[in-house]
Amino acid sequence: MDSIGPVGLQQGEGAPCYPQESLPCPSDSSELVQECLRQFKVTGAQLRQIQASLLSSMEQALGGQVSPASAVRMLPTYVGSTPHGTEQGDFLVLELGATGASLRILWVTLTGTEGHRMEPRSQEFVIPQEVMLGPGQQSTLISWTKGFRCSGVEGQDVVQLLRDAIQRQGAYSIDVVAVVNDTVGTMMGCEPGVGPCEVGLVVDTGTNACYMEEARHVAVLDEDRGRVCVSVEWGSFGDDGALGPVLTTFDCALDRESLNPGAQRFEKMIGGLYLGELVRLVLAHLAQCGVLFGGCTSPALLSRGSILLEHVAEMEDPSAGAARVHTILQDLGLSPGASDVELVQHVCAAVCMRAAQLCAAALAAVLSHLQHSREQQTLQITVATGGRVFERQPRFLSILQETVMFLAPECDVSFIPSLDGGGRGVAMVTAVAARLAAHRRLLEETLAPFRLNREQLAAVQAQMREAMTKGLRGEASSLRMLPTYVRATPDGSERGDFLALDLGGTNFRVLLVRVATGGVQITNQVYSIPECVAQGSGQQLFDHIVDCIVDFQQKQGLSGQSLPLGFTFSFPCRQLGLDQGILLNWTKGFNASDCEGQDVVCLLREAIGRRKAVELNVVAIVNDTVGTMMSCGYEDPHCEVGLIVGTGTNACYMEELRNVAGVAGDSGHMCINMEWGAFGDDGSLGVLSTCFDARVDQASINPGKQRFEKMISGMYLGEIVRHILLHLTSLGVLFRGQQTQCLQTRDIFKTKFLSEIESDSLALRQVRAILEDLGLPLTSDDALMVLEVCQAVSQRAAQLCGAGVAAVVEKIRENRGLEELTVSVGVDGTLYKLHPHFSSLVAATVRELAPRCVVTFLQSEDGSGKGAALVTAVACRLAQTACV
């Protein structure tokens, strides 16, 4: 596109004139100018159209749908975390492509202290043209853009090429840790504004953006947790033709003459490498049509690359003044008149305004995607901006901001310029990777003692088995193996109306249980037991219980009737008969005085006596495990084990009477309340107990007691997690090392949070919500780690519980001399029922450790009160039979 010859009007002395006709020229000159400028106008509707089509192309690419001329690439960068502010160390950064034909080397020192920044040292090297276009022995590069075109590099791993080059030089020891897109560097180097800095936007030679995406949305990643930074690669948007309506004849000419025709169409309308060229093409066209420079061109005006971004920026800047524009044009060999200068300014402004608006449409697509996928009413976010277009053209940012507000009004965006041209951010990526690796090591070390292998679990099973045998024989054992005087499960012939009490779980209940031919009908009411009553005097506690019964009788119209009563009392009792139970010691949160060593049925009868108006006939006292087994046994005759995993944990099962020391008789069975919560109180669990278990135990109301229960049940798991979180915070692994008052508060971390946090249906976002409600200032890495802590703690609990069940079912099988035992376990308890994985982990452990037992777990639907009523019913039936 060089000169043809000096024809036409000559404007200044000595100034050559080069008119040329390459584009059609409308006849009327002002119409021609308007037409040119109009081409660069993009309407609001067109911008919305671009926003929508880019959004849909982003979502398609994320979903793994590759269209033939895929519009955007959405490349995961494997950067999974934004900076903490605690990163430290020395890092070298090579920046290729950021500032055009140069290579910048930066030495960045991070101090690890927020607000304490050390200026990086940097040096820039020019890359000669022959190197940029020559052979490429210089990440897998997909394609070159922005004027680079070295051979043998596309499709290669850039890190490996760099390592090879370092090797070829010898003498250096440099570890290449990360290859980072400039947008990622921009995002990572930015200090957060109103919201976290999770978008990086670069408009330099080229343009692109990156942002933090939920990993589960990125189909190519086999990962459903956490976030990953995705490079949108929006420069290639429109390569499939989507930009058709806004493309000008100048865009088409520019593309045709570029190094990569047909590619990077969006970038060619926005990137700094192209803005000057667009302006040049328009000016050349207007000159050739005789509208500018008196119809004269110059060799410079007709040569590719003669107008640079810097020129456009200066000419477009209204404050620059006509003189400066004049000089620039003169340097191009042109002789502008006053009206030419004004017109050139208009052209520059139109080209730049369009670039900023298009860029805004693309950014708005990213922001609305984020707002949608995070389900936020208002997305508060910081966008880090970088690149020479922002630096040189202040108006670019203001147009961008205005247009983003128009296109994505539901996003509250603060724009923050990146520091050190993104180089600091690249160092940050490396530093964050180093921090994450160190934190992961510390997390793994902390959780390692919670990860039990098969041998450890088999050892627990064997110890449990030995303790069972000793306990049954009446020898010293941490398992008390208490006879319950329940000798049979229901046979279905029981009938009548019964009262039942259920004390010791989360709720205290009074029930009316009607056992009839058609089944069992239950009416119940929950009453609260305030902590001051549970830990007050025994008399106060039992008076409160009787008050609740009276209230229930009145409400049910049962006053004056003396129904047989079954009492589920979920604490260790030495029973001397069905209706006699000496409380051995309180467990869980109870500690009422003057009860231990007393017969609980007597304490209840005395309280009834104090309340003269009521008459109650207490027939049976049962543990909740027994009530649960009986309740499930009514439906399934194979149910011979009862298991509770709730506030506390315990199990009971049907043992051969001949094995039970201290109870007369050698034939038949008796249900044994194992009180397995106390397993290990003799120190036998010592090797498995972690320092966190020790802390929970020490802070409890019964230190040294119920050690197995304290590793398994709902009353304690949240506390174990809290102590681990405190420890990880003190190591700086969590919550940026900031200890909060909240986390120091006992019982603040409820066990139900474990169930909620581990629930598959809840995204990590909700995990964050739970923790934020607790006042914990967390990042998404923190949320992931908290999840892992919860998983480790609940998995150990479930596996220990499974080892216990395996010991029980194996004992039943051996008692009966069976090759294979089919048995059901009735289960109750909030942890077992609400936790998403607990039950399947228990079952898996039992399958592994007791392979010769076919175990079915039945969840008790009606609570153990129904079982207590059934025990009472059986006792009444037997008593009646005895009278006949």
Catalytic residue among 412, 624, 693, 697: 624
* Mutual angle of helices 764-773 and 751-758, in 10-degree steps: 160
Q: How far apart are CA 395 and CA 661, in angstroms?
A: 91
Encoding tokens for residue 708?
């197995």
Residues that bind ligand GLC (CB under 6 A): 504-505, 570-572, 587-588, 623-625, 644, 646, 648-650, 675, 677, 709
**DSSP characters over 381-449:** EEEEEESHHHHH-HHHHHHHHHHHHHH-TTEEEEEEEPSGGGHHHHHHHHHHHHHHHHHHHHHHHHHGG
* Mutual angle of helices 309-316 and 272-288, in 10-degree steps: 70
Residue, CB closest to ligand BG6: 646
Verify whether residue 48 is a known catalytic residue: no
Binder of residue 623, out of ligand BG6, ligand GLC, none (CB less than 5 to 8 A by kind)? ligand GLC
Catalytic residue among 258, 477, 570, 631: 570
Sign of CA dihedral 22, 25, 30, 33: negative
The minimum distance between CB 863 and ligand GLC, in angstroms, equals 12
User: In the complex with ligand GLC, which residue's Cβ is closer, 238 or 646?
Assistant: 646
Nearest to 648 by CA among 580, 590, 581, 722: 590
Site membership for ligand BG6, residue 828 (CB under 6 A)? yes
The minimum distance between CB 228 and ligand BG6, in angstroms, equals 39
Task: Out of 100, 333, 566, 646, point to the residue binding ligand BG6 (CB under 6 A).
Answer: 646
Q: Give the burial string for 651-667 (b: 16+ CB within 10 Å, else e).
A: bbbbbbbebbeebeeee
Give the interface segment with ligand BG6, choosing from 14-22, 225-233, 574-582, 827-835 (CB under 6 A).
Answer: 827-835
Site membership for ligand BG6, residue 502 (CB under 6 A)? yes
Site membership for ligand BG6, residue 504 (CB under 6 A)? yes
The minimum distance between CB 535 and ligand BG6, in angstroms, equals 17
Nearest to 273 by CA among 100, 399, 133: 100
User: In the complex with ligand GLC, which residue's Cβ is closer, 231 or 839?
Assistant: 839
- Residue ranges in 607-636 that form contacts with ligand BG6 under rule CB under 6 A: 624, 627
The minimum distance between CB 527 and ligand GLC, in angstroms, equals 17
Q: How far apart are CA 228 and CA 503, in angstroms?
A: 50
- Residue ranges in 196-255 that form contacts with ligand BG6 under rule CB under 6 A: none
Q: What long-range pairs does 327-334 form, CB within 8 A, spacing at least 24?
A: 329/293, 331/300, 332/298, 332/300, 332/301, 332/306, 332/307, 333/15, 333/16, 333/298, 333/299, 333/300, 333/301, 334/15, 334/287, 334/293, 334/296, 334/297, 334/298, 334/300, 334/301
User: In the complex with ligand BG6, which residue's Cβ is closer, 422 or 863?
Assistant: 863
Q: Which segments of 562-623 does DSSP mark as H helices, in order?
A: 600-610
Binder of residue 568, out of ligand GLC, ligand BG6, none (CB less than 5 to 8 A by kind)? ligand BG6
The Cα-based distances of 826 to 198, 202, 800, 833, 855 in angstroms read 50, 62, 18, 12, 11
Encoding tokens for residue 66?
């590759």
Site membership for ligand BG6, residue 714 (CB under 6 A)? yes
SS3 content of the chain, % helix, strand, coil (to 5): 45, 20, 35
Site membership for ligand BG6, residue 675 (CB under 6 A)? no
- Residue ranges in 506-535 that form contacts with ligand BG6 under rule CB under 6 A: 506
Verify whether residue 624 is a known catalytic residue: yes
Site membership for ligand BG6, residue 751 (CB under 6 A)? no
Site membership for ligand BG6, residue 568 (CB under 6 A)? yes
User: In the complex with ligand BG6, which residue's Cβ is closer, 696 or 743?
Assistant: 696
**DSSP characters over 787-798:** HHHHHHHHHHHH
Residue, CB closest to ligand GLC: 648
User: In the complex with ligand BG6, which residue's Cβ is closer, 200 or 505?
Assistant: 505
Q: Are strands 207-214 and 227-231 parallel, antiparallel or unpaired?
A: antiparallel
Give the interface segment with ligand BG6, choosing from 88-96, 299-307, 470-478, 643-651 (CB under 6 A).
Answer: 643-651
Contact between 611 and 847 under an 8 Å Cβ cutoff? The reply is no
Residue 191 makes CB contacts below 8 A (sequence gap 6+) with: 197, 416
Verify whether residue 509 is a known catalytic residue: yes
The minimum distance between CB 234 and ligand BG6, in angstroms, equals 53
Dmax of the chain from CA atoms? 137
- Residue ranges in 854-873 that form contacts with ligand BG6 under rule CB under 6 A: 863-865
Which amino acid makes up residue 413?
V
Binder of residue 572, out of ligand BG6, ligand GLC, none (CB less than 5 to 8 A by kind)? ligand GLC
User: In the complex with ligand GLC, which residue's Cβ is closer, 53 or 650?
Assistant: 650
Residue 199: how many CB atoms within 10 A of its CB?
27
User: In the complex with ligand BG6, which residue's Cβ is closer, 789 or 868?
Assistant: 868
Site membership for ligand BG6, residue 267 (CB under 6 A)? no
User: In the complex with ligand BG6, which residue's Cβ is closer, 376 or 585?
Assistant: 585
Where along the sequence are the contacts to ligand BG6 (CB under 6 A)?
A: 502, 504-506, 568, 570, 624, 627, 644, 646-647, 714, 828-830, 863-865
Catalytic residue numbers read: 509, 570, 624
